[in-house]
Chains A and B, each alone.
Chain A
Amino acid sequence: MDRNDSFREFVALYQQSLMRTAYLLTGDPHLAEDLLQSVLLKVLGRWPKLAHVANPQAYARKALVNHYISWRRRPARAELPSSEPPKGSYSSEESTVARLAMRQALARLPPRQRAVIVLRYYEDLTEHETAKLLNCSIGTVKSQAHHALARLRECAPELAPRSEEMEELKGTRR
């Protein structure tokens, strides 16, 4: 088995979950693909070393998030929300409306806040794990999550829970 074979296996196993994270981070399928492609190139460049570590997908995930944040620091790459989501919900189309609302609300978050939301509430990482992955303190993760959740409530009130649920959410997985 040459090194490309083991890399192919790695990609086959993890590319879709990495792609989903990339999509949540960028909000655009083409940007997500570009982001993941860049990260996989980086991973392939280091594959001889990574192939023998316990958790290469952790490296890939960390590279993905950090690459996304550094991408977003570039002024030219702005993601602009398009039209507003439909007001109210059409019973059978509720999930579509919710997706649109969530995508637009996420697009209004600064990159670090968006990364915190994705890592904490999609990847289900703890505050400690999120802080390690983003190379920041737990306090920073807490404040970024607080601001991001407040912003999400503001941007997508139809998705946000009632206030007591919000309190419960804040209290979980510290």
Chain B
Amino acid sequence: MTWLRNALDDLAGEAPRVDLAERTIRTHERRRRRMLSVLAPVPIAAVALAVTATVRLLPAQPPPAAESGAVRDLPASGVGPLSHAYMTFCRPEKGKPPAGCVDGGWRVVTHGGATYRVAQALRGSTFGLRETPFAIAGDGRKIAYYDAKAGTFAVRDLASGTVLTAPTKVPKAWLGSIAHLLLSDDGRFLAFSKMPRLKDPAMLFDLREGMVRPLPNGWNPIGLSPGGDTITLAQYAPKTRFQTISHLWQTSTASNEKTIDVTGTYLPGALRPDGETAVAVKSGKTPGSVCPRTSPDLVHLDPQTGKVLRRVPFQGLSTKGNVVYLRSWTGPQEITAIVSPIACKEADVNAASVQSSYAPFTAYAVNVKTGKARKLTTYSAQSPFYLVLPGFPATL
């Protein structure tokens, strides 16, 4: 950080705290009413013109809400294991929105192909202002989501319909703009963290015992030991770091934590269930551009030391023109990688006129020893944030 940056940061800290939302809305309404009252006494013809103009200037109405019946709501019980979940958005730049689209709504898809809307889950803003995290347990039989009615997180067993809610309320404002959930395979533990690094805490819930453990904020949970006693967190920006916190339920302090810096910038996938292996992809920018790129190797990292152990080139998976995101493990030697074509335009970075479309995300099972990739299936989603696969989450 430069002297100037320090000085500006310091000065910016003097800016008073403000709350301008309500004042702005009131002023906007007052101006709108005043404008209408000015228009009122003019002759009929002019009024007709003004009304026409006003109608044209009115904001576009939201698209018709869900065509009820197109996709059923999640039944109370008797739902089979899930293959994935995705968030719907109804104004794609290209292509058609899915039938029965609800902006920011979560849908789950079973291995049998049935699709259900999860109406209980808080709807998100598909433009990134409010994140509504979603998670699927490794066996696909339980889901975790933010229940707007309960005002906290809930875990639902899809077969039995049993719902457990977190023991403390989590205000919606705490969800931040990028939120992550990690759900243990047995559905007992649920970890929540988010960005930006707000003052309110990240949390680990024990839903069976009704207990809560605070976690450091601004980290992504990527692994939890079977008994919920040790959690592994990762950061990928501004630098890659791992943090391991052990003896979570035996102490009330954060003294059993270890943070390790990794040299280089990587996007780690979920931690292998043995808790000792992490693989990542190296991310960066295309030279001369602001668009992302992925290096053609799978990188083995030691989460205890931060060292790069080895690099294994991908085979059968092209990183050229694609971005690769690692997800959870499908076996002792295989991790899921989802691959999506780079759709970045230079203008996207600053312009406010971007409207996204659904993009294909092709899933591969990659052998971490040989790098060989086996194609699994292709999903469609707005962004990697809005595509959830069973298992522990990764950093992206």
Contacts and interface: CB of A to CB of B under 8 A. Distances in A.
- Answer whether A and B are interacting partners: yes
Interface of A: 1, 3-4, 6-13, 15-16, 19-24, 29, 32-33, 36-37, 40-41, 44-45, 47-56, 58-59, 62, 95, 98-99, 102-103, 106, 117-118, 121-122, 124, 128-129, 132-133, 149, 152, 159-161, 165, 169, 172
B353 interface: yes
A106 B130 CA distance: 35
B129 interface: yes
A128 to B, nearest CB: 8
B25 A44 contact: yes
B122 to A, nearest CB: 10
Contacts of A36: 18, 20
B55 interface: no
A53 B353 contact: yes
B127 A52 contact: yes
A133 B60 CA distance: 27
A13 B15 contact: no
B7 interface: yes
Contacts of A19: 15-18
Interface of B: 2-5, 7-25, 27-28, 31, 59-60, 91, 123, 125-130, 173, 177, 290, 348-356
6 contacts: A11-B20, A36-B20, A45-B28, A53-B352, A58-B351, A133-B350
A56 B129 contact: yes
B234 to A, nearest CB: 23
Nearest to A61: B350
A13 B59 CA distance: 23
Nearest to A26: B15
**Pairs of residues from A and B, 5 with the lowest C-beta to C-beta distance, nearest first:** A48-B59, A59-B352, A23-B15, A11-B21, A20-B12
Contacts of B177: 13
Given A9-B130, A16-B17, A29-B16, A41 B7 contact: no
B348 A54 contact: yes
Contacts of B15: 16, 19-20, 22-24, 29, 32
Nearest to A120: B4
A55 B8 contact: no
A118 B22 CA distance: 28
A160 B4 CA distance: 8
A62 B60 contact: no
B60 A48 contact: yes
Contact of A99 (B2, B3, B10, B22): B10
Given A19-B17, A21-B12, A47-B59, 18 more contacts: A7-B24, A7-B25, A9-B130, A16-B17, A20-B12, A22-B15, A29-B14, A33-B18, A37-B20, A41-B24, A50-B352, A52-B91, A53-B353, A55-B350, A58-B350, A99-B10, A106-B11, A121-B2
